[in-house]
Structure formats: structure tokens, C-alpha cells
Structure 1
Amino acid sequence: MMKDFFTKKKKYATVPSAKARQDVPEGIVRKCPKCKKIMYVKELKKNLFVCQSCGYHYPIGARDRAEMLFDQGSYVEFDKDMVSLNPLQFPNYMNKLESDRKKTNLNEAVWTGKGLIEGFDCAVAIMDKGFRMGSMGSVVGEKITRMIEYANKNGIPVLIFSASGGARMQEGVLSLMQMAKTSAALKEFSENGGLYISIMTHPTTGGVSASFASLGDYNFAEPGALIGFAGRRIIEQTIGEELPEDFQTAEFLLNHGQLDQVVSRSELRTVLGRVLSIHAEGGAAGWDQN
């Protein structure tokens, strides 16, 4: 009897069955990848998808970011019906694009438009890593270029939120051409006195990091963002050295002079408002980065 007492599984100690776990509605809670704290999604959204425990910044989609960024009801979208073709006849490419359209509610890996931020009119591009890992193909480059040209014509600042794995391999050299195309548009914009603010989010890598993402008059980044061109292992194998643990993080780049500031999501609108006010006619005389 005593043996049975210790060996028999007790009803109150049983683990819920797989079926019982499947009955729990999805999307109610999320676990922080960094500190493992479990949070209700509604509370997480109220906190701008930043962990209340450790400050981890969850990657967010372009439409969610637009809702957080602009003054309420002030923004409009550009070129929303522009879609990619398959110039190289890459196998299954069109099916993957269609799948990502349904997943992200975007036609491409970047949202572009204009709107008010703290009362200042801006032209904005927001990349979405949920669409082909935010890779830059011909449509992404064209949309960003058109947005810059609109800002140039109308004399308003440009903001670009980068989130990308780099150039899109399915479009070959047409993808790589977008690096020069977007950079040339920014060069003309700068020569005409335009203000460009680059905000790098997780991840900003490859051809995007080597082109428009690094060309800002102000280069900001979100905490913990991975920023770099080549991958860590490739660099270590090339130079034959082990890299620091925090290599290619936003904080590492800030400490080595490649960023102007690492800005938390909760403070971003305030920081952007300050910068925009400085450069607006009759704006503030200066600003304190501390």
C-alpha cells in the first residue's frame, strides 16, 4: 500500500494533455525571449511591445509601428498597390510573396507614406521583417526612392525605419541596384538641405545597412538591435579572431561612434519631436541628448 502511494500518479499532479493545451486560445500571452516572463498580449501592446520586466524590444510590423509613430489619424500611405514581379523566374517566388502578403497585410516589405509626428510633417518608410525578412528587392527600393523624392519636392524631413536581412536574392542584381538607387536619392535630398533621420531596428543587416540605413543626418537605433553587414561567423573566420559578445548590437555601435543615440520605443516620439523642432523654422535652439 505504501509503495502504491508513492508510485501511483495522483490526479492533482498530472500534466495537462496535449489536447487540453491546444484548447487554450492562441495570442493571449507571450513569453519574453530574453527574461522568459509571460505577459498578456494586451498589456504588451499597451507598453509598445516592450517587456515590462527587462526592456526587451519585440520586433513589430510596419502597420503597428505606424500606429505608434504618427499623431492619431494623421498619416496616409503611398504606393500601397505596388507589387513585385519575378524577373528571374525564381522557383516558387510568387507563392512566397503571396503568403507574406496574407501574413503581414502588406504588398511588400516596406510601408511608405507621410504624416505628422509631434505636429511636424514627415515622409516615412517603415520596413517589415515579416515580409521576406524585410529583404530589399526592386519594389522596396522603388517605394523608398519615391518617398524620398516626395519629401524633396515638398520640403519635409525623411524618416526610415530599417529592419532587413539585406538584398533579396530572388531578384539578383536588380536587388543590389536598389542600394545605389536609394543612396543617390538621399544624396540629392541632402544637397537640397533635406533632413534625414535613420532609425535602425532589429535586425538591420546586409545591403540595407550598407546603404540608406547608415546615411542619416541622425542615426538612431532601438535597444538590442542587431546592426551590421556580414554575419558574425564570417567576420571571425575572415580576421581569425573571436569577436566581443555584444558585437554588432546597437549599444556596441553607439560606444564605437557609429550611432548618435540608442532610443527606447517609449521615448522615440519625444526624441524625434525634439530633432524635428530644431530643424523646423523657428524651432528649438538646441537639445539635450541626456
Structure 2
Amino acid sequence: MIRDLFSKRKKYATIPTEEAKQEVPEGLMTKCPQCKSIMYTKELRKNQMVCDNCQFHHRLTSSQRINITLDEGSFVEFDATMIAKDPLDFPDYKEKSAKDREKTGLNEAVITGKGTIAGMGVVIGVMDARFRMGSMGSVVGEKMCRAIQHAVEEKKPFIMFAASGGARMQEGVFSLMQMAKTSTALNRLHEAGLLFISIMTHPTTGGVSASFASLGDINLAEPKALIGFAGRRIIEQTIRQKLPDDFQTAEFLMNHGQLDQVIHRKELKQTLENILDIHQQPLINREEDGTDG
């Protein structure tokens, strides 16, 4: 009897072997960083990467974002082969960029192209934080400007999903120049009387938040997205004041007039459909009248 008791304890105290551990596929489960609940990754993906328990919005890849936003099979990519140079000969920049290309399957931190939403043509740009933290370098700026020019030429609305750590440090002033470059391109879109919808996701910071991401005719954001220029600690040290707990969240910015609406991911496509539908008729009327503005 005593022997049985000890054998039972031994059974429950057994540590799984390495072989047993390997039977559980990597990435099978995902832990929510907000509520700490654990869910099947497959189910999370079906739920558009939104936690079913607390509604936390996990990051999306650029391809996932395109798939849930555009009509199936409608996306045509622009400038897919553009790759950044190393204008400043910055240490390890080429090697790190090559690793990001291998890891993500992307050539840069933004994908641009055209497609349809509910049958309505749009030009779209989607940033991907997996590539150099979505930082804006020369290629990101160039792809953005070319996409905007496509929108002008084809008289289509331009939609931009921002997800970025800001300007790309390894390209120095060349990166900072993209702020003015993209802003100027958007001014041409505005002069053509075309719609620009900016959607800020987590995170949208630095030079991106200070340039094209904040220049939308309509500025939207996902819940609790971090949006701002400088970091909280830097600002607090500069002004010598404690900032509110919700400072630089999408909700804080909407309450202070920088955003038009904070929208749940599952409602975003329908919202875009509604906005595009409202703006379709004025554009049709201008084309019939032969006017541009």
C-alpha cells in the first residue's frame, strides 16, 4: 500500500520529456498581453487577431490587413521589388535589412497597391511593424508617393494603415526628408479633390505620426493604439509633469480632437464602405461635369 502511494506521487511529479514537449506545435497557443488569457492561435486569427475575452487588438501583418480590408482577389501590388540602399554606410544596416526580408518575406516596411472595397476602387498602403519596426526610410517614402500618384492618376481614394516606430535612424536625414516628401504628395491628392483616409494602428509614432499619418481627410484609429511623436518619459522629463495614464492612446487623442473616430477592427471594413460610398457620388458628378475640384 505504501509502495502504491509513492508510485502515484511519482506519476504526478513526472517532468515531461523533451520528446513530449516537441509534440506540442510551436505557435499553437497565444497569450493575450492584456488579460493574460490563453487561446488557440487559429481561433484568434479567425477573430481577426482580436482577443475574444478583453477585445485587445493584436498586431496584424500587412498581408492579414489587406485580406480583411479588400475584396477577395482584388489586390494588385505596386513596386514590390524596391529595396533600400545604405546611403550612410551605417554599420550592420544591410545585414539587418536582409534578415528582416528573410524573416518577414517583405522587401520593405510598407506594401502598396490597389484593389476594391465593396466593389469601389481604392489605392492602399499598409505598413508592417515586423520590418525594421515599420520605420520610414527612403523606400517607404518613395512607395508611398508613387501610390499617391497612382491614386491621383486613377482618381481613386487613398487609404493608409500606419504602424511605425518613426523615421529610420540608419538613413538619417534621408529618412527625415520623407516627412516633407509624403506630405507634399498628399497635397497633390488634396488639390485633385480626392479622399485620403488615414488609419493609425499600434504603434504610430515619431516622424510617421508627425507627417502623413496625421494628414487624413478622415483620421481613424484602432482601440488603444499608441499614437504620438516623442515617448512618454522624454515628454515628462521635458515638461517636468506627470502625464495622464491614457496619454497617447487613440481614445485620448480622439477626446482631444486629433482623431475622428476610434473603430473596432471588426467594424472597420463596414465603416470604410460607408465613407467610400458617401464620397463616390460627388466624384461621379465632377467627372460628368468635366471638373477636377
Q: Cα gap change, 1:243/1:14 in structure 2, threshold over 3 Å: closer, same or farther?
A: farther
Alignment partner of 1:254: what SS? helix
Alignment partner of 1:77: what SS? strand
The one-letter amino acid of 2:27's match is G
Q: Aligned equivalents of 1:128 and 1:150: distance in 2?
A: 21
Q: Cα gap change, 1:19/1:234 in structure 2, threshold over 3 Å: closer, same or farther?
A: farther
8 Å contact 1:151–1:158 — kept in the other structure?
Answer: yes
Judge which range, 253-262 or 173-182, deviates more. Answer: 253-262
What displacement does 1:16 show? Answer: 3.3
Query: Are 2:212 and 1:212 equivalent residues in the alignment?
Result: yes
Residues matched between the structures, number: 281
What displacement does 1:274 show? Answer: 0.3
Q: Aligned equivalents of 1:206 and 1:9: distance in 2?
A: 57
What displacement does 1:22 show? Answer: 4.2
Q: Aligned equivalents of 2:16 and 2:54: distance in 1?
A: 30
Alignment partner of 1:199: what SS? strand
Aligned counterparts, 1:134-283, within 5 A = 134-281=134-281
Q: Aligned equivalents of 1:18 and 1:31: distance in 2?
A: 22
8 Å contact 1:254–1:260 — kept in the other structure?
Answer: yes
**Cα shift readout 1:40-76 (whole Å, capped 9, x = no counterpart):** 1111111101001100100111111111111010110
Return the TM-score normalized by structure 1: 0.93
RMSD: 1.8
Q: Cα gap change, 1:185/1:282 in structure 2, threshold over 3 Å: closer, same or farther?
A: closer
Name the structure 2 match of 1:288: none
The one-letter amino acid of 2:119's match is G
Aligned counterparts, 1:22-41, within 5 A = 22-41=22-41
Runs of 4+ in 1 over 6 A off after TM superposition: none
**Cα shift readout 1:69-117 (whole Å, capped 9, x = no counterpart):** 1101011000000000111111111111111111211100000000001
Name the structure 1 match of 2:286: none
Q: Aligned equivalents of 2:16 and 2:213: distance in 1?
A: 48
Greater share of residues in helix: 2
Alignment partner of 2:144: what SS? helix
Structure 1 regions of 5+ residues with no counterpart? 284-290
Q: Aligned equivalents of 2:217 and 2:50: distance in 1?
A: 27
Name the structure 2 match of 1:286: none
Q: Aligned equivalents of 1:11 and 1:250: distance in 2?
A: 51
**Cα shift readout 1:218-273 (whole Å, capped 9, x = no counterpart):** 00001110000000000000111111111101111111111100011101110000
Name the structure 2 match of 1:106: 106
The one-letter amino acid of 2:114's match is K
Q: Aligned equivalents of 1:186 and 1:42: distance in 2?
A: 38
Q: Cα gap change, 1:119/1:230 in structure 2, threshold over 3 Å: closer, same or farther?
A: same
Name the structure 1 match of 2:96: 96
Q: Aligned equivalents of 2:29 and 2:192: distance in 1?
A: 48
Q: Aligned equivalents of 1:19 and 1:93: distance in 2?
A: 39
The one-letter amino acid of 1:172's match is G
Q: Aligned equivalents of 2:15 and 2:261: distance in 1?
A: 47
8 Å contact 1:176–1:207 — kept in the other structure?
Answer: yes
What displacement does 1:191 show? Answer: 1.3
What displacement does 1:27 show? Answer: 1.5
Name the structure 1 match of 2:62: 62
Q: Aligned equivalents of 2:15 and 2:199: distance in 1?
A: 45
Name the structure 1 match of 2:53: 53
8 Å contact 1:137–1:171 — kept in the other structure?
Answer: yes
Q: Aligned equivalents of 1:239 and 1:15: distance in 2?
A: 54
